[in-house]
Amino acid sequence: MKTKAPVSKNERLDVTIADLTYQGMGVAKVDDFPLFIENALPGEEITIQVTKVQSHYGFARAISWQTESADRVKDVDKTYRQTGIAPLQHLAYPAQLAFKQHQIKELFSKAHQDVDVAETLGMANPTQYRNKAQVPVRMIKGQLETGFYRQHSHELIPLTDFYIQDPAIDDAIVKVRDLLRQFEIPAYNEISDKGVIRNIMVRRGYYSHEMMIVLISRQQKLPSQDQLVDQIHKALPEVTSIVLNVNAKKTNVIMGNVTRTLYGKPTIEDTLMGLTFAISARSFYQVNPQQTEKLYQMAIDKAGLTGTETVIDAYCGIGTISLALAKHAKQVYGVDIVPEAIEDAKVNAQKNHLTNVDFFVDKAEDQMIQWQASGIKPDVVVVDPPRKGLAETLIASTAKMGPKKVVYVSCNPATLVRDVARFQELGYEIDGPIQPVDQFPQTPHVESVTVLVKK
């Protein structure tokens, strides 16, 4: 028998916020029925209006506050919440760090695992940290605008200050926007499938200050292309690379497969952990280099390398972790599914004069099976998977190879908990506290490093 929800749409209620969800929304319970409320913090007493009711939960909006949390930040720009750029900006930074630590602890505890989770490693300045921007471009009232979409919609909110991005990148986006307007190059319209510019991407080296501008276009050649490129590099002296990426498909995927260099070189360089990396338009490179150094240093320290070990780095990308490990290991093997990333990784190995590392293009889980079959015996396996976590076959082949340690760099605590349980079934156990690192301040995302050792 279906039980009726204890609340109905448009009903007004007085509630106390009990907790935050992993997306940073406040949770209030009415007869054990959870309501999710944006911009609400634990401990706050609020009058809410119910906006949506499902069978097991509902959504509501805050109307007025009777009491406010001591952790509430007052001067916030609601645009950053509406666009999802900074959904936690209303929560004081020390409380954000505690929330991220609690998030990991809570997920393990729901899985009946009592684990030790260290305090989250934060930043001195938890704003202006992103070294890469991908912003949509749209025509609004006949004028080309750059900004960000309102959450769950395709309505563009024009923005010039993105709050969590390097200010030099914000400035570059405005200058490129103004030049596109000057040359009357129209923005892409996804409904009519007409227009030219879909997105602007900017990357800037945190240490090198080299800048790359990527214009993502529906056409193979831009109107007034040569003049535009000339003016961009005059307006932005840091620019060492201007790239055209062509995406002619009717899709919400940002980049297409064709990339052409219009000015300078196809990559910019930056340093990380004292190593030099070439970064191309399509390569994955961590967006918060200051925290990435802490994260990777933590992974290397926990791997406990002495120079005699064989190490596998699954999901190696352009080789950031692999090359940092190679300085401390005898031999490193890296694998990634993106061919361009592996090309970059090989170039980066040469750049850094590291010859004890080999890179392969494949799905990590398939390559692990091949390595296992060919008798490779790693001492340490490092995994840094995407949000969906590890494939079961990868966990199985890792366990069969029997490394003494698995160092798991995670960007999603939910899949981390699931994967740790699978490793435990195959004879591994958590060693020491899990270390959260705040790679994405002002958002609910949290990275962490977990060490698993063979029993």
Residues taking part in catalysis: 411
CB proximity list for 204: less than 8 A, separation 6 or greater: 131, 132, 166, 168, 169, 172, 210, 211, 212, 238, 268
**Do residues 379 and 349 make contact, with C-beta atoms less than 8 angstroms apart?**
no
Give the CA diameter of the chain: 70
User: Can you tell me which residue has the tokens 């945190």?
Assistant: 206
Cα(85)–Cα(79) distance, integer angstroms: 8
Task: Return the beta strands (E) in 226-274 as ranges.
Answer: 239-246, 258-264, 267-272
State the distance between the two ends of the chain, measured CA to CA, in whole angstroms: 48
CB burial of 23-44 (b: ≥16 within 10 Å; e: otherwise) equals ebbbbbebeebebbbbbbbbbb
Residue 91 CA to residue 453 CA, distance in Å, equals 36
- List all residues 6 or more positions away from 325 whose beta carbon is below 8 Å from its beta carbon: 300, 303, 305, 311, 313, 332, 382
In sequence order, the 6+-apart residues with CB closer than 8 A to the CB of 18 are: 27, 28, 29, 42
Under DSSP, the state recorded for 411 is: S
Using a 10 angstrom Cβ sphere, with 0-12 exposed, 13-18 middle and 19 or more buried, the burial of residue 10 is exposed
Q: How far apart are CA 64 and CA 183, in angstroms?
A: 48
10 Å CB burial of residue 208 (0-12, 13-18, 19+) is middle
Q: How many helices (H) and strands (E) does the chain have?
A: 10, 23
Cβ neighbours around 78 below 10 Å, total: 10
Extract the runs of DSSP E, i.e. beta strands, from 205-292: 211-217, 239-246, 258-264, 267-272, 275-280
